[in-house]
Amino acid sequence: MRWSYCVLVVLLLCVMPSQAPAKKSKKSQDQVYVVKRGETLSAIAERYQLSVAQLRKSNRLRGDQLRVGQRLKLPAGVRPAWHRVDKGETLVRIARTYGVDLDQLRQFNQLSGDRILVGQRLRLSAPESTLAAQSTALVPRPPKAGKPGREASPSADTALLPPTPDPFRNELPEAADTTAQDNPDSTTTEEEEDLPPFEYLVQKGESLVEIAQRFDLPPGLLRQLNNLKKDRLRPGQKLRLRPSALDEGIHIVRPGQTLTGIARSYRLEVDKLRELNGLDGGGKILVGQKLRLRTTAKDVHIVERGDALWEIASAYGIDTEELKRINGLNSAEIYPGQELKLSPRKAETFALYKVEPGDNLSEIARLHQMSLPELRHLNNLQGSVIHPGAQLKVKPMLGDTEAIQTAEVNWDSLRVPLRELGEIECENGPYYRDRPKAPHQLQPNYSENPPYSPLQSYERARRLWQAFAGSVEQLPPLSSALKGWNFVLDPGHGGLDPGAVVQVMDGNGNKVYVVEDEYVYDIALRVYVLLCRHGAQAELTLLSPNHLLRHSNPAAQTFVNEKNEVYNSRKFNEPNNAGSWPRGGRGGNLNARVHIAEQLFGHTPVNRRIFLSFHADIDPRAPAAPLVLYYQGKQGRRDPVSKNFARTLLPFLGAGAHMRGQSLAVLRNNPAGVKVLIELRNLAYTDHGWALRFEQLRQRDAEKVIKGILEYSRVQTFSSK
């Protein structure tokens, strides 16, 4: 009996502690939310899918006013509707924290993998049907054509441009996820780059300069983003560290947008937006039109996506290091929307633009990053009528400055020895021996089949290429910085596969169509010429039998989708059948490019081999900025040398440029020491399709690549000493 009594006492003691909290659980089940700076009662209610009245009642609030640090009671079991990603968090960890199934979390946020970015806003539950419908309309899945390593199949030649996404939807971060979903040769195994978070909570004793140094940001950018007149900070203050789409200086008009809606998005008055852009009272705007969102002093340059620090410095005749000093920059990295101070004396630098037939004032303003009112005022113009031959005063165009002109090629001088090959002058040429039947790309699915067999086309292409290469050899050298380096340049798509075909508008509101592979080939040729002038050995994986460098005059005379490019190898053309043409998609012959690279590199040491594949992306989830892809295998195996090259390239490609690892067919088993695929433009954005039509801007893209290569070779040479 005594023994059983003891057991009973022990059991009671064990049970009582576990039951004690249960008695007060009713009250403790409520959750607590600590109010952060800038938060409102309605925003918190929306996040937790509650009514404002519920929050007021639970917390005995008479009004909506809150204070930073205030603790709000939330009903038991309530879960936020979304979560903003913090540094170090993973999708798996977030799913576990909120008790959400991982696959469902991917589905709620339209994620095909597990890659997330700091600052990204993730939905934690299924969106309402109306939001889901809006999401589907605004962000279509990327088309299969036009993606690297997943090039279009012969039966699906073209991909028409989808509607451009709304940058404000769900507050997506600047660097969105891009994946090659349907390609057996392309597996995304990405890693998040080391970017600063979007926001930072100031700690006691911290200064603006200290925080700027910690995140490697210029203090001027922090002042601009946070509207700070002084550098004084207080503990608990929330600092924005990176610009969002709302901070940028321009907006590109997308399908279905109105002037009123755009003004509301950027918190501008409609009349102010009209004034900034010289629009009349009707407010008519065109898809693809560039709208300026703010003005600054004459000695300030507002950074646009793709602007590189070296370009801005060169355009205004300022030394790059001096520009960095003026703006307190620690590196060459700059951000879209950032305001850069110029030397007051250099800020008055202007260039002259000679009006060509077919030019219009709107496109001239866009080329030189000016607003229409600014261009009119500078040239005392009352309207928009201009005449061929007239000289207009303009801002110096980035990529077309006096400093770069010393490196530019006199393209006409390259054509002289080629006239014996039957040069044909036309508005989108020149061509050699034969030209397209159509004067320009007529519609998205228009194409012209090759008039010759693969072997015949190859023989014509080699003769044309050898004449061109001989002309390039005669040009005066720019330097010997790349002597001993061997480059294989791979123009994306080609042959039976045109890549993406997108619709854009010219300055008069007319539809024109841009064919990716035709423009990429032209850019690859420009890179080739500049590499050779710096002492490098270079070749292309693909050749055209009837064209080299081209220009369009006017730019609306776009290049035609000719399916006649061939591999730069007799071996791959000798079968002389339909399978010899370059093609993409399932069963494509992308590996041929790797084998050709192996032949072209020859006996060059591996650490002096660089393989560059050029493309134009068409992914509406990725930002409107260059993307550099280095090899990263399915099991996470990475190529650190190529990754280092990509990182070196980014500042020279311009603001917003980003990088990631991906398993791509043209990079896998590639014999180069450095192998990357560069998406120079993103054709999901109409402004990028617009830009590719202009020879000056294609030249600018080529110059950016060369600048990055020269910096990489300089660092490698220095480190090897």
Model confidence pLDDT, tens digit, residues 546-580: 999 998 888 889 999 999 999 999 999 999 999 99
120 in a domain, yes or no? no
| 387 and 445 both lie in a single domain | no
pLDDT score at 299: 85
Task: Please state the φ and ψ torsions of residue 281, each to the nearest 5 degrees.
Answer: -60, -25
Looking at this protein, which amino acid is placed at residue 372?
A: L
| 496 and 627 both lie in a single domain | yes
Please report the beta strands in 499-592, taking only residues with DSSP state E, as ranges in sequence order.
501-505, 511-515, 537-540, 542-543, 566-567
Of residues 247 and 442, more confidently modeled:
442
| 263 and 365 both lie in a single domain | yes
The structure tokens listed for 284 are 């008519």
34 in a domain, yes or no? yes
| 434 and 308 both lie in a single domain | no
110 in a domain, yes or no? no
The boundaries of the domain holding residue 287 are 199-394
Alpha-carbon span 588 to 665, nearest angstrom: 10
| 561 and 433 both lie in a single domain | yes
The structure tokens listed for 312 are 């801005």
pLDDT score at 145: 37
pLDDT digits (tens, 9 = 90+) for 473-526: 989 999 999 999 999 999 999 999 999 999 988 877 789 999 999 999 999 999
Angle between helices 516-533 and 454-473 (to 10 degrees): 40
- Give, for 628, the enclosing helix (H) or strand (E): strand 627-631
Smallest CA-to-CA distance from 147 within 575, 472, 620, 539 is with 620
Q: What is the DSSP letter of 239?
A: E
Provide the domain count of the chain: 3
How many CB atoms are located within 10 Å of the residue 116 CB?
A: 20
Residue whose entry in the numeric block shows the structure tokens 């433009």: 681
pLDDT score at 151: 38
Most confident segment among 52-61, 239-248, 313-322: 313-322
Band of residue 415 on the pLDDT scale cut at 50, 70, 90: low
Span 445-470, average pLDDT: 95
pLDDT score at 603: 95
Alpha-carbon span 712 to 612, nearest angstrom: 14
pLDDT digits (tens, 9 = 90+) for 610-655: 999 999 999 887 888 899 999 988 766 788 999 999 999 999 999 9
Pure H helices in 266-358 = 270-277, 309-315, 320-326
Residue whose entry in the numeric block shows the structure tokens 């008519």: 284
pLDDT score at 77: 64
Q: Are strands 71-74 and 31-34 parallel, antiparallel or unpaired?
A: antiparallel
Alpha-carbon span 653 to 488, nearest angstrom: 19
Task: Please state the φ and ψ torsions of residue 653, each to the nearest 5 degrees.
Answer: -80, -20
End-of-domain residue from the set 364, 394, 424: 394
84 in a domain, yes or no? no
| 429 and 377 both lie in a single domain | no
pLDDT score at 396: 82
13 in a domain, yes or no? no
191 in a domain, yes or no? no
What CATH number should be reported for the domain holding residue 508? 3.40.630.40
End-of-domain residue from the set 367, 394, 421: 394
12 in a domain, yes or no? no
| 415 and 382 both lie in a single domain | no
Span 125-148, average pLDDT: 37
pLDDT digits (tens, 9 = 90+) for 314-340: 888 889 999 999 988 878 888 888 889
| 374 and 418 both lie in a single domain | no
Total residues belonging to the chain: 721
pLDDT score at 66: 85
Looking at this protein, which amino acid is placed at residue 459?
A: E
pLDDT score at 181: 28
| 690 and 638 both lie in a single domain | yes
pLDDT score at 399: 65
What CATH number should be reported for the domain holding residue 54? 3.10.350.10
pLDDT digits (tens, 9 = 90+) for 363-400: 888 888 877 788 888 898 887 788 888 889 888 877 65
Mean pLDDT of the chain: 79
* Distance, CA of 461 to chain centre: 33
CB 680 within 8 A of CB 701: yes
How many CB atoms are located within 10 Å of the residue 719 CB?
A: 7
The structure tokens listed for 383 are 């309207």
Given a cut of 60, whether residue 165 has pLDDT beyond it is: no
What Å distances lie between residue 464 and 18, 239, 317, 570, 697, CA to CA?
87, 58, 39, 15, 25
| 333 and 259 both lie in a single domain | yes
596 in a domain, yes or no? yes
Task: Please state the φ and ψ torsions of residue 30, each to the nearest 5 degrees.
Answer: -60, 140
Smallest CA-to-CA distance from 452 within 580, 337, 564 is with 564
Q: Any idea which of 28-32, 256-260, 639-643, 669-673 has the lowest mean pLDDT?
A: 28-32
pLDDT digits (tens, 9 = 90+) for 200-209: 888 888 888 8
| 287 and 431 both lie in a single domain | no
Q: What percent of the chain has pLDDT over 90?
A: 33
| 382 and 420 both lie in a single domain | no
Alpha-carbon span 185 to 188, nearest angstrom: 10
Alpha-carbon span 120 to 176, nearest angstrom: 9
What Å distances lie between residue 97 and 61, 80, 85, 101, CA to CA?
30, 12, 12, 11
CB 111 within 8 A of CB 98: no
End-of-domain residue from the set 19, 44, 78: 78
